[in-house]
Amino acid sequence: MEDFNLFTIELKLKRHKLAYQLADNGNTIKLGGIINLNSQIFYRIVGPALLGLFLIIFGVILKIGFLDIIGFILLLLSSYGAKVVKNQKNNNKNIKSIKNGQIEISSDKSLIILTKKQIKQYKIEIDLITNGQYEGKLDIQYDSNRITLLSIYDDNKQRIDEDLNYIKNFIELKLENV
């Protein structure tokens, strides 16, 4: 297996605006949350919605039809942005602590501790969600359950694949070190 370093993992997480924290002198990395969630809400949802409403209102007042159309397109873009932010928030909400020999997944209701033996499969899915925008997920399957460790969005499918595979290999290596 290749040599992994935390600096590269940090760069990959920062690129996709995912929150992380190093603990125990770098022996533990905690994943969970989204960096700048409020700014993402503004530029993906609020900004397009306000601009769309503004264009629709002025299109009706000034009787310029193409402003209405542009306004409706921006409202659709805003609803799509809401879906993206909601999915990313839901998929990255649990805190995942990756330590030597185990992964701890904590939510509001439970704490799940998994070792290498308990994880049956890692699965990377990359889906085209709009023209030129991809969503990548890194899931683990244990028993009959499946948990999303990471969910990222990007316009470059190959970059998503490389980043998720690198992070998956890093996690596998951490689990091998007991």
Token reading at 157:
């499918």
Cα–Cα separations (whole angstroms), residue 26 to 23, 29, 42, 100, 149: 5, 7, 33, 11, 19
Give the tens place of pLDDT for each residue, 29-65.
888 877 777 787 887 889 999 999 999 998 888 888 8
Q: What is the pLDDT of residue 53?
A: 93
Mean pLDDT for all residues in the chain: 86
Domain boundaries along the sequence of the chain: 6-34+92-176, 38-85
HSE (side-chain half, CA atoms, 13 Å) at 24: 8
For residue 165, is pLDDT > 60? yes
pTM for this prediction: 0.75
Q: How does residue 75 score in pLDDT terms, banded at 50, 70 and 90?
A: very high
Q: Which residues pair with 97 in a beta bridge?
A: 30, 104
Looking at residue 112, its pLDDT comes to 86
Choose among 151, 147, 153, 90: nearest CA to 121: 147
Q: 164 falls in which pLDDT band (50, 70, 90)?
A: very high
The pair of structure tokens assigned to 37 is 């969630």
Check residues 178 and 3 and name the one with the higher pLDDT.
Answer: 178
Instruction: Please give the pLDDT value at position 70.
Output: 92
Q: What is the pLDDT of residue 166?
A: 93
Give the burial class of 130: count Cβ atoms within 10 A of its Cβ; 0-12 exposed, 13-18 middle, 19 or more buried.
Answer: exposed
> What pLDDT was estimated at residue 4?
64
> For the segment 79-126, what is each residue's pLDDT rounded down to a tens digit?
888 888 888 777 777 888 888 888 988 877 888 888 899 999 999 999
